[in-house]
Amino acid sequence: MKYKLIKLILMIFIIFSSFLIYDVYTKDTNILNTSMVDNILIWLITLSLLVYYIRKKHNPELVASSITTNKKSEEELRKKNKPNVSFNDVAGLDEVKEEMQEIIDFINNPTRFQKMGAKIPSGILFHGPPGTGKTLLAKALAGETNSNFLYSSGSEFVEKYVGVGAKRIRALFEKAKKDSPTIIFIDEIDAIGCKRNLDSNNEKDQTLNQLLVELDGFNKDSIVVVVGATNRLDLLDEALTRPGRFDRHIYIGNPNIKAREDIFKVHVKNKPIDISVNLEELSRKTHGFSGAQLANIANEAAILAVRKNKRKIDINDFNSAIERVVAGLEVKNPTVLNKEKEIVAHHEAGHAIVGKLLKSDMIQKISIIPRGQALGYVLKFPDDERYLLTEKELYNKIIVLLAGRAAEKVIFNEITTGAENDLKKATELATNIVCNYGMSSLGNMAINENYIRYYITSINNEVSNIIESCYTKALNVIEENIDFLKDVARYLIDNETMSINELNEIFEKNHQLTKTVN
Ligand code: ATP
């Protein structure tokens, strides 16, 4: 409001000055003949406009949007900054909540700890894949302790003008201390906290230095806890992660089967759910999904139910929502040529039958209805929670990935661009086998980024050998089970989708002809 008033006054001032200048020049075009007062006025107006323009251009907002306040809105903001989130809203992550209990006790009862000479931990660092609930947990920490919650993102402090980022950091901590107890949450902290090196940029270094200074000094007489979050812990500068600063590193990974069920429970709490929905089954189907993806599935299912004018969300809505999240939006009225449809059907049938025969992941559904950028897809989920994979299982995964292309080659003696994504995944997996898992003839070693250039030729050879041997294996399995492949492809051309039960039926029929693999 105050800002708007200043703008209005300025506008009036500019209009008035324009009239004045016009008036002066039209009376007498020679500026030297104008009166002294007029001259002073003209110069004063021109100079103040010039100063205003330069200041606006070269002095960007010094305080980040999340921490800008004026007096009137301060009270509103303060209310807003107290999140209405508790640990009950965070499903799973029991060990993390337990770890944070200590910090909650400290904030809620600081004197008990201070009497013992204990200092509150300066910073907590959440790291892990995206969408796993890092922000939610930080908010819950503020909710549990009735603290203020100041959200900021590392990128807010990245500026090209030296010193601006550092000023914003100072302003953020000043506000936090003023409103103590406060939880400062800095998302994507790697944007300001990444390792410094010789060609580091001056602005970024100043910002990081300011953050280090604040972390060292802020807990003297106020309660402020800084929670940083990053997807890349390895990028952070050691000065930031050393004891006394962000010294509590908490990994937050994708939820396990139990946690997934709990997350679903949280997100269907206020939704009318049909009895056909079994959350345990849904959590089994969503292995590897993040909490954000699960929340998205519950929301998508609700939207689908509304679209179909249903009174309750049923299992079909959830299944469609999972497919939408995994494979993308279904293409309405696809214009796939018949010839292409045949290729796609054999390609997907190739993945499905080799996956089934090698007992790789559990297949749920095969489809040749285009979704997103894919013309077809095989929906599969691991049948149990796995943390370790054997060498054979990894190779089998590559064989299944290459089975689509192998089927095209065997049936049409031609290969297409349809395998682009499969090849990308297969190469990535083969590179991991060589560089990270030590499962190639290069031996039991991990080759990190610093050494990769010394081994580049050997790595390329090893990756190529793995891919080619897996492709040969895929070709063999397809050739040995060609009738099974053709039957599945025919079914797909006629019906467009196939469930696991239908795949099993065709498999049983072909069983006598199907040769044992391995
Ligand atoms: P990023 O690293 O991308 O910033 P994040 O780890 O901070 O992601 P959040 O923003 O906390 O992830 O989570 C996104 C959404 O996912 C939450 O708002 C919530 O709806 C849901 N969610 C994630 N994890 C959980 C969980 N454990 N319990 C309940 N909901 C969750």
In a domain, 401, yes or no: yes
In a domain, 517, yes or no: no
Instruction: Point out the domain boundary residue: 251, 267, 291.
Output: 251
Best CA proximity match to 317, nearest among 299, 331, 301, 339: 301
Does residue 373 sit in the same domain as residue 293? no
Q: Domain range holding 20? A: 2-58
In a domain, 456, yes or no: yes
3-state secondary structure at position 502: helix
Count of structural domains, the chain? 4
Other Cβ atoms closer than 10 A to 35: 11
HSE of 24, CA atoms in CB hemisphere, 13 A: 20
The CATH number assigned to the domain holding 175 equals 3.40.50.300
Contact 307, 346 (CB under 8 A): no
DSSP secondary structure letters along 9-57:
HHHHHHHHHHHHHHHHHHH-S-GGGS-HHHHHHHHHHHHHHHHHHHHHH
pLDDT band at 25; cut points 50, 70, 90: low
Does residue 290 sit in the same domain as residue 438? no
Does residue 206 sit in the same domain as residue 306? no
CA distance 352 to 362: 10
pLDDT mean over 149-171: 81
- The string of pLDDT tens digits covering residues 213-238 is 888 775 566 788 899 999 888 888 88
CA distance 326 to 333: 20
Does residue 396 sit in the same domain as residue 346? yes
- The string of pLDDT tens digits covering residues 230-285 is 988 888 888 888 887 888 889 998 898 899 999 999 999 989 999 999 999 899 88
Indicate yes or no: pTM above 0.75. no
Residues recognised as catalytic: 348
Does residue 490 sit in the same domain as residue 376? yes
Instruction: Point out the domain boundary residue: 327, 349, 384.
Output: 327
Contact 481, 357 (CB under 8 A): yes
Instruction: Indicate which atom in ligand 1 lies nearest the CA of residue 126.
Output: 6
Query: Phi and psi for 505 in degrees, rounded to 5?
Result: -60, -50
Instruction: State yes or no: pLDDT of 32 exceeds 60.
Output: no
Does residue 10 sit in the same domain as residue 45? yes
In a domain, 40, yes or no: yes
Q: Which has more confidence, 132 or 337?
A: 132
3-state secondary structure at position 236: strand
Instruction: Point out the domain boundary residue: 224, 251, 278.
Output: 251
What's the distance, Cα to Cα, between the start and end of the chain in Å?
75
Does residue 276 sit in the same domain as residue 393? no
H-type helices in 269-416, by residue range? 279-285, 291-307, 315-327, 338-357, 391-412
Sheet with 123-127: strands ordered across: 148-153, 182-187, 224-230, 123-127, 246-251
**Ligand 1, from 132, 156, 258, 265: best to mutate by most atoms within 8 Å of Cβ?**
132
Q: Quote the pLDDT of residue 62.
A: 40
Q: Which has more confidence, 253 or 79?
A: 253
In a domain, 265, yes or no: yes
**Ligand 1, from 136, 141, 251, 279: best to mutate by most atoms within 8 Å of Cβ?**
136
The CATH number assigned to the domain holding 438 equals 1.20.58.760
Does residue 197 sit in the same domain as residue 133? yes
Q: Using the mean position of ligand 1's atoms as its centre, give its distance from the Cα of residue 326 in Å.
A: 18
